[in-house]
Amino acid sequence: MCERLANQGLRVIVAGLDMDFMGKPFGPMPQLLAIADYITKVHAICMHCGDLANHSFRTVPDNALIMLGEKESYIPLCRGCFVAAMEKQPTVG
Ligand SMILES: [Zn+2]
């Protein structure tokens, strides 16, 4: 749909998470990123070290791929803090 609209000359803007809570490519985003003319990645601030955060770390023990939540369920983490947090949380994955 996005490509068809863009081919018709329309400006298409898509926003979404590029990775799931495990740090894996999420849903249709890899395909959309591949065909996009321009990509802007917006980052939060890592809640552990203050660096730029590109991961959404799930803080509750739930392995569902899609789980709606806000501050009570997710925190933004940079790559290094995300990897360290994932290693401390063996129940997820
Ligand atoms: Zn960090």
- DSSP letters along 15-51, please? ---SB-TTSSB-TTHHHHHHH-S------EE-TTTSS
Q: Could you state, in order of their start, the residue ranges of all structural domains in the chain?
A: 2-88
How far is the centre of ligand 1, averaged over its atoms, from the C-alpha of 51 (Å)?
Answer: 5
CATH of domain 2-88: 3.30.60.20
pLDDT tens, position by position, 50-62 = 999 999 999 998 8
How far is the centre of ligand 1, averaged over its atoms, from the C-alpha of 55 (Å)?
Answer: 10
What is the mean pLDDT of the segment spanning 8-23? 95
pTM: 0.81
**Strand pairing partners for 58?**
74
How far is the centre of ligand 1, averaged over its atoms, from the C-alpha of 43 (Å)?
Answer: 12
How far is the centre of ligand 1, averaged over its atoms, from the C-alpha of 76 (Å)?
Answer: 8
How far is the centre of ligand 1, averaged over its atoms, from the C-alpha of 52 (Å)?
Answer: 7
